[in-house]
Amino acid sequence: MRTALPVTTLRAAIGAYPETAALLEGRVGSDLLALDNIRHTPPSKAFPAMVRQAAFQVSEMAIATFLMAKAYGKPMVLLPVVLAERAQEAALLTAVDGPVRGPADLAGAAIAVRAYSQTTGMWLRGSLAEFHGIRADQQRWTTFEDAHVTEFTDPPWVTRAAPGQDLLAMTRSGEAAAGIFGNDLPSGLRTVFPDPEAAGEQFRQAHGFIPVNHLVVVRQDVAAERPELVVELMRMLAASGARMHTRETLRPALALAIRYCAEQGMMPRPFTVEEAWEGLPAAIR
């Protein structure tokens, strides 16, 4: 008689979304795998521990943070699963009564952002350069936090905010011509793009995808030593309703994100999309 293998529990840090609810609430069963999920609000609170200490065996991860971590040799393996994606243009805000009326007005201007490595900032900087000719190294950037990847230092065109400076206050006062914000957009500001939806659609038409914010990674040792658990995790995520991709369907987003990161001074070296998938079990296409 064949003895059933014990269920393996992996320590995880995956955010609560409608697409992950069934998985995190235990409504997706498995004879192989269980997740001990440590919830972080927002999910990005888990990223430093995953990147710096490999604190989880499964983790949600911002695409920019993963690419930077990969360039610095962090032991993470990317899965073709998207947990968060959105058009980014509505996150670029300016003072209601300020002089900025569109992206062209940001040429050479001061822009504030929580961290230079923030994924929303990466997509917006890339879009500003591509569609409006405004390159990241021609702006004056102010940041408030370090990157999750400790080896990274901000490029020369970035300065750290002085004590007491605040992203929202700088944007409202006009000290920064614009500010880049996250999911929770503050009131009392307006978008730099006069029609953010149209700008987002311009990006989608040009590239064929909506910018990816968060994916899923596993620790390298898990993928190498227990590939069947990674395959099972993919099955469970699919059963929960997560946005499942293949290596090929995510290629355009990964390729563009790698290019944007390299152009913006976010990684020590560019690498290929194939390198981004290193360590992913062969059974996962």
Query: DSSP readout, 194-224?
Result: SSHHHHHHHHHHHHSSPPEEEEEEEEHHHHH
For residue 57, pLDDT over 50 is answered with yes
Distance set, CA 118 to CA 84, 106, 181 (Å): 14, 19, 10
Angstrom distance (rounded) from CA 169 to CA 174: 8
What local confidence, expressed as pLDDT, does residue 188 receive? 86
Rounded to 5 degrees, φ, ψ at 45 are -60, -20
What local confidence, expressed as pLDDT, does residue 1 receive? 43
What does the pLDDT look like over 159-188, one tens digit per residue? 999 999 999 999 999 999 999 998 778 888
What local confidence, expressed as pLDDT, does residue 183 receive? 75
What the block records as the tokens of 157 is 């065109």
What does the pLDDT look like over 71-111, one tens digit per residue? 999 999 999 999 999 999 999 999 999 999 999 999 999 99
What does the pLDDT look like over 193-244, one tens digit per residue? 999 999 999 999 999 999 999 999 999 999 999 999 999 999 999 999 999 9
In whole numbers, what is the pLDDT of the chain averaged over residues?
Answer: 96
Assigned architecture for domain 89-207: 3-Layer(aba) Sandwich (3.40)
CATH topology of 8-86+211-276 equal to that of 89-207?
A: yes
What local confidence, expressed as pLDDT, does residue 4 receive? 63
Domain boundaries, given as residue ranges, for the chain: 8-86+211-276, 89-207
For residue 3, pLDDT over 60 is answered with no
Contact assessment for residue 267 and residue 215, using Cβ atoms and an 8 Å cutoff: no
Q: Which CATH class is domain 8-86+211-276?
A: alpha beta
Give strand ranges (E) for the chain.
Answer: 8-13, 33-37, 58-62, 76-85, 92-95, 110-113, 140-143, 158-160, 178-180, 189-191, 212-219, 243-244
Torsion of CA 71, 74, 77, 82, to 10 degrees: -70
